[in-house]
């Protein structure tokens, strides 16, 4: 966070008052790090970052860090490019335009797939599984 000019948030923002992984007067940032060559980004994480940016009146920035290559990429919405560019050039932002989210419940959560329970389907699955993985008897001759 310090390399991006942001103050790290204690406990990575898991408290009640200060959210996300780092921030300063103009920017709030969520950081995801990996030592692998790929990373998964959840829409819910992006939505929470945007909500917290609206509450704090700061520019939301999602940072992705690949530890092995020591590369950091920044992910922002196109409508925030002008504000972020102004901040990077001048060190501050005059006015920030955001689409208001009135409540945290406006953030959509991914719905899990609905599982239909049926004893017939379970029996069919188990039968198929047993047939597929049944040990073949071998004769000694």
SS (H, E, C) 113-134: CCCCCCHHHHHHHHHHHHHHHC
Helix (H, G, I), strand (E, B) or coil at 105: helix
pTM: 0.60
- Indicate if the pLDDT at residue 139 is higher than 70: no
- Indicate if the pLDDT at residue 62 is higher than 90: yes
pLDDT in tens, 66-110: 999 989 999 999 998 888 888 888 877 775 555 554 455 555 555
pLDDT in tens, 6-54: 887 776 656 655 678 788 888 889 989 999 999 999 999 999 999 988 9
Q: Does domain 2-133 have CATH number 3.40.50?
A: no
- Alpha-carbon distance of 49 to 59, in angstroms, equals 10
Element (H, E) at 55: helix 43-56
- Cβ-based neighbours of 37, under 8 Å, separated by 6 or more: 66
């Amino acid at each position: 966070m310090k390399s991006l000019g942001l103050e790290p948030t204690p406990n990575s923002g898991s408290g009640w008052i200060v959210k996300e992984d780092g921030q300063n007067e103009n920017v709030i940032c969520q950081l995801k790090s990996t030592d692998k060559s790929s990373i998964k980004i959840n829409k819910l994480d992006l939505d929470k970052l945007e909500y917290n940016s609206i509450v704090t009146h700061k520019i939301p920035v999602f940072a992705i860090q690949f530890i092995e290559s020591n590369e950091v990429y920044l992910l922002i919405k196109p409508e925030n490019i002008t504000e972020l560019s102004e901040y990077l050039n001048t060190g501050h932002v005059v006015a920030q335009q955001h689409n208001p989210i009135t409540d945290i419940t406006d953030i959509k959560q991914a719905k899990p797939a609905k599982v239909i329970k049926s004893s017939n389907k379970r029996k069919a699955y188990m039968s198929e599984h047993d047939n597929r993985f049944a040990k073949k008897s071998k004769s000694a001759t």
